[in-house]
Structure 1
């Protein structure tokens, strides 16, 4: 169990960092948020892999993906986060 958690943190860090590098723009998030981005992206990538290719159907729809699926999922999560957080910011009147 501890090995799985350590693996998820390492894959999350790599996938989150690659997603932040591949998507242009400024992202004010620390290392913890980058790890969470990668971990969530891994499950999004696993779900997309299951939905599109129906691979590993015995494991269910919610499963971690490989590094490429994790990066793709993290990019999607980052873009959704930017779209949602961009609307929630209040603009100040000058």
Structure 2
């Protein structure tokens, strides 16, 4: 549980960067993009801890949190893009 604030910060940063990198209209806007980044980071972080990946923490588990946030943002963007077409 000591890594949760770090995962939240990672997800927040990835959410902000994701919104800046992919501007434009999407139904969620800035806040939803940030929340999705945080959710992806938490999901990946907890999944790694449950699978005992990353051992005592460190770069592997934080990297997984960043990748999880990015993947969730990309999936959200793809789903919303296909719905609005």
TM-score bracket, normalised by the shorter chain, equals: 0.5 to 0.7
Structure 2 spans left out of the alignment, 5+ residues? 56-60
- How far 1:55 moved relative to its partner? 2.4
- How far 1:21 moved relative to its partner? 6.7
- The two structures, once aligned, show a CA RMSD in angstroms of 3.7
Higher relative contact order (CA 8 A, sep 6+): 2
Structure 1 spans left out of the alignment, 5+ residues? 58-64
Distance in 1 separating the partners of 2:44 and 2:24: 21
Q: Larger radius of gyration, structure 1 or 2? A: 1
Aligned to 2:16: 17
Aligned length, in residue pairs? 75
Q: Which structure is higher in helix share?
A: 2
